[in-house]
Amino acid sequence: MQKTKLLLTSLTLTGLLALAGCSFPGVYKIDIQQGNVVTQDMIDQLRPGMTRKQVRFIMGNPLLTDTFHANRWDYLYSIQPGGGERLQERVSVNFGADDQLVGLSGDFMPGVSRDQAILGEGSGVTTPQTTQQVEEKPAPGSLLEQIQREVDDVKVVPVPTPEPLESTPQ
């Protein structure tokens, strides 16, 4: 009887310690991601006039397709970094009567990067990025300048079209 009580007490104490280990500080907690992963690169590839198939190829299958709003696809994404605050993003893609992309709305907009904020990197403040490319000229006499000169001097030669084969035997 005494051994049974001791065994039961020790098993209970071991079980309680094992359960208490789940809430100890410093224990790794996984990131929880749900929904469609939408990146700024995906949004930047969308163009008005794209078909539903083209949008599906870029964005993937929508998370929500509403029966009452057949011309709208909703993409939702949420992430909760281990023990942190949950962040949620939403994008709605709207199609016209001819099944072509007419617009989008939500937390992502073309040209404005929010990827770092979603992933929890940086300060969380987003600023519009200007996409002006400044073309730097290679240094005179460098290998890059020589390659660029050769590329610029290339002459376009049209590809000859082949003669059709005769279908009658001779």
- Residue 56, SS3? helix
Tokens 């001097």 belong to 153
Average pLDDT over residues 71-84: 85
Give the whole-angstrom CA distance, residue 60 versus residue 67.
19
In a domain, 91, yes or no: yes
Per-residue pLDDT, 69: 82
Highest average pLDDT, of 24-28, 35-39, 140-144, 160-164, comes from: 35-39
Per-residue pLDDT, 121: 54
Q: Residue 92 belongs to what domain range?
A: 32-107
In a domain, 99, yes or no: yes
In a domain, 113, yes or no: no
pLDDT in tens, 111-139: 656 555 555 554 444 444 444 455 677 77
In a domain, 43, yes or no: yes
Number of domains in the chain: 1
Per-residue pLDDT, 53: 92
CATH number at 57 reads: 3.30.1450
Strands 87-95 and 64-65, sheet pairing = unpaired
In a domain, 12, yes or no: no
Highest average pLDDT, of 84-98, 117-131, 150-164, comes from: 84-98
Taking the model in full, what pTM does it have? 0.50
Average pLDDT over residues 67-87: 85
Give the whole-angstrom CA distance, residue 18 versus residue 6.
18
In a domain, 72, yes or no: yes
Per-residue pLDDT, 159: 67
Structure tokens at 48: 């008005």
Distance of CA 5 to the CA centre of its chain: 57
The sign of the CA dihedral 44, 130, 107, 119 is positive
Tokens 């929890």 belong to 120
The sign of the CA dihedral 43, 101, 88, 123 is positive
In a domain, 7, yes or no: no
- How many helices (DSSP H) and strands (DSSP E) are in the chain? 5, 5
Q: Tell me how many degrees the CA angle 128-125-135 measures, rounded to the nearest 5.
A: 35
In a domain, 124, yes or no: no
